Homo-oligomer: A and B are copies of this chain.
Amino acid sequence: MDAKVNIQTYMQQVGERARAASRRLASIDSGTKNKALLAMAEEIEAQQASLLEANAIDLEAGKKNGLDDALLDRLALNPERVTGMAEGIRQIVALADPIGSVTDLSYRESGIQVGKMRVPLGVIGIIYESRPNVTADAAALCLKAGNAAILRGGSEAAHSNQAIAKCIQAGLKTAGLSVDCVQVIETTDREAVGLLITMPKYVDVIVPRGGKGLIKRVSAEATVPVIKHLHGVCHVYIDGKADIDKALAVAFNSKTQRYGTCNTMETLLVDSVIAETILPTLGKMYTDVGVELRGCEKTCKILVTAIPATEADWDEEYLAPILSIRIVDGIDAAIEHCHQHSSGHTESIVTDDYSRARRFLAEVDSSSVMVNTSTRFADGFEYGLGAEIGISTDKIHVRGPVGVEGLTSQKYIVLGDGHIRK
């Protein structure tokens, strides 16, 4: 009971400090924010040895606790990764500061001027797992957008995260900013997450970064708005009027350029009129690199290497060298399949037909809709946003890769000269 009271008090204090810091941050100039960010990057490089030391403690504990190799790899820091963190922050420095920009300022009939000013969201809570570099990325993105950040990393990375936090706070101090601008939660008590996502008075938005379990829990329990990235069941549809070479290139690259990413294609849809032309070549390309193929009935007739897909396959995010393939009767069936099974992340059509490209772009309801392009392009760097804090599969507030601007809001500003309403 005492511990519970303590963690509630602690989280409330964290919230109060963040809210107060966010008030001041809202009107800090770009130069000061960038000074803090550059100082953070420098400090991270200067503290490489102590970061690796802290990380070694986490890695050892992780091994003892039986974390698998993939998780240990995500947890691990090395000199290149430390430099990468610093470089990531410097790239954020180079981005334009979105805060304070005023758009659409124009006179109304009444004589008042009305426009929109871009402003920080306020306080952002980030809940994440394993990768310690998120601590640096998230802090830098939030600060650039004028937000105070409350970061809650996974307990498996606690020592690494606290060591990175020290570098962040050193950077804030160098620029004369409050260390409350970025707070890394010190307790690994799970209760802290429950409190963080139910403090609308202190927290304006929650960004969960991690596995489905984390995101589902946060979505279900949060009373603070959540910007979430659930998962990616991405599709490529090879239309009957596709250029064969482009279709082979896009379909192969979308699956095989990397297997474990959310913008990797998981299901290939092929127009029935072109299936016998293209699938034998494409199927061989996949099997040559070890991709397991799961096909619909018609696909299995064309590709003897494919095993029959079950209904569950159409909703599966494999994140692995596995691909489901379905032959569909034209663009209507392809779009309908996407409506039923896509997670709303990224869909691409390969076609040389103008009208079908136009329809696919208009009708497919996903955060990224592409023509003749590999789904692997769906990320913040490729879109020119710079770093991203995630890819939103929500429709509210921000959709697709979330960069600095996604962490801001807009307010109306009205300029008058004693104007009153008649």
A residues near B (Cβ < 8 Å) are: 23, 26-27, 100, 106, 108, 110, 112, 114, 117, 119, 121-122, 204-205, 219-220, 223, 225, 243, 245-246, 249-250, 252-253, 257, 339, 348, 350, 359, 361-363, 365-374, 376-378, 382-384, 394-397, 399-401, 409-421
Contact of A384 among B108, B225, B411 (CB under 8 A): B108
**Bound complex: CA A262 to CA B23 (Å):** 25
Q: Which residues of the partner chain B approach A223 to less than 8 Å between Cβ atoms?
A: 219-220
Q: Which residues of the partner chain B approach A373 to less than 8 Å between Cβ atoms?
A: 112, 414-416, 419
Contact (Cβ within 8 A) A413 B114: no
- 9 closest Cβ pairs, A-B complex: A373-B416, A246-B418, A253-B420, A370-B414, A376-B421, A397-B397, A395-B409, A368-B412, A225-B396
Q: Which residues of the partner chain B approach A361 to less than 8 Å between Cβ atoms?
A: 117, 413
Contact of A421 among B23, B219, B374, B399 (CB under 8 A): B374
Q: Which residues of the partner chain B approach A246 to less than 8 Å between Cβ atoms?
A: 417-418
Q: Which residues of the partner chain B approach A412 to less than 8 Å between Cβ atoms?
A: 367-369, 378, 383, 399-401
Q: Which residues of the partner chain B approach A26 to less than 8 Å between Cβ atoms?
A: 362-363, 365
**Bound complex: CA A383 to CA B413 (Å):** 10
Number of copies of this kind of chain in the complex = 2
Q: Which residues of the partner chain B approach A114 to less than 8 Å between Cβ atoms?
A: 382-384
Look across to chain B and name the residue whose beta carbon is closest to the beta carbon of A352.
B417
Distance in Å: Cβ of A35 to nearest Cβ of chain B: 19
Look across to chain B and name the residue whose beta carbon is closest to the beta carbon of A357.
B415
**Bound complex: CA A276 to CA B121 (Å):** 38
Look across to chain B and name the residue whose beta carbon is closest to the beta carbon of A117.
B361
**Bound complex: CA A397 to CA B257 (Å):** 34
Contact (Cβ within 8 A) A382 B112: yes
Contact of A365 among B122, B348, B378 (CB under 8 A): B122
**Bound complex: CA A108 to CA B370 (Å):** 14
Contact (Cβ within 8 A) A378 B205: no
**Bound complex: CA A383 to CA B104 (Å):** 11
9 further A-B contacts with Cβ under 8 Å, apart from A27-B359, A117-B362, A204-B396, are A26-B362, A106-B384, A108-B382, A117-B361, A250-B420, A370-B414, A371-B413, A372-B415, A396-B397
